[in-house]
Amino acid sequence: MNLINKEIKAVNGIKIPQVGFGVYKLNKGEDFETAVGEAIKIGYRHFDTAKIYGNEKDLGLAIEKSQIPRDEFFITSKVWNTDHGYEATKKAFEKTCKNLNVEYLDMYLIHFASLYYLETWHAMEDLYLQGKIKVIGVANFEIQHLEELMKNSKITPMINQIETHPEFPQNELHQYLTKHKILHEAWAPLGQGNKALLENTVLKKIANHHEKTVAQVILRWHIQRGIIIIPKSSNPKRIKENIQLFDFELSSEEMEKINQLNTGKRYSHSPTGYMINPLYNKLMKIFIK
């Protein structure tokens, strides 16, 4: 079964499926295999993992088990903070490829703007130029991180994966990314499944009008903003619903009503506050060296 999915082009012309499947906090073993196997069967081909998730090998095995050709998948992983630096990043990349049992990655991201991220980016530029990564980008980068990176690099990041949902739409950063032709990818597109958000009366009314779930309305809102999304679930029904987003459209009035839900509330910590924490930086220096 292959459901409809839209593709968005990176600045270099590489096509990225707009709806992906996130595996953050998905349990290893049978639960992981069942969820990812169901996602593949339904038609997902874009999968997002990271070294720190500890499930790269599980994802690689699930993809191999599907017997679907590798080039039909779009696989993303990320380099973790303790692997920053030029040589360390190259080693981390090779380990990730080995874990996933692949010869290249469709997308590789810097997970956070930690110490030495410029050296990490230079390694990723080289891996990209060698054809080992099709799209290189970042995650959890604020405007100041992107400015610093672009001043000290040959290649501008092609994508930024950031927390984004109706209560935290990232409007200023979204406009900045659009201006610089950097794709916007949302993690936690459903606000980490926050109950209050999913029971919001405005969203419920819109969902009822379209005969869709509130989650589908939120995900469709992202789609119409031109954002790539990676919702995650282990529930087969929700896995299917999360990609059934292209048979309805929100009106401009409905989009505006959802825009009004912006409260500026993050469900995770601020990347800026996290990275400038003195204790964090001290520990990073110890780990990296």
CA 8 vs. chain centroid, Å, equals: 14
51 close to 79: Cβ distance less than 8 angstroms: yes
Catalytic residues: 53
The fold of 7-288 is TIM Barrel (3.20.20)
Identify any residues that bridge with 173 across adjacent strands, giving them in sequence order.
none
Confidence of residue 283 (pLDDT cuts 50, 70, 90): very low
Q: What is the pLDDT of residues 45-72, one digit of tens each?
A: 999 999 999 999 999 999 999 999 999 9
At residue 274, the pLDDT reads 53
Residue among 117, 44, 122 nearest 76 (CA):
44
- 174 annotated as a binding-site residue: no
Which pTM does this prediction carry?
Answer: 0.93
Sheet containing strand 46-48, edge to edge, reads: 21-22, 46-48, 74-79, 105-110, 133-139, 159-163, 183-187, 228-229
Task: Show me where the domains of the chain are located.
Answer: 7-288
Q: What is the pLDDT of residues 158-208, one digit of tens each?
A: 999 999 999 999 999 999 999 999 999 999 999 998 899 999 999 999 999
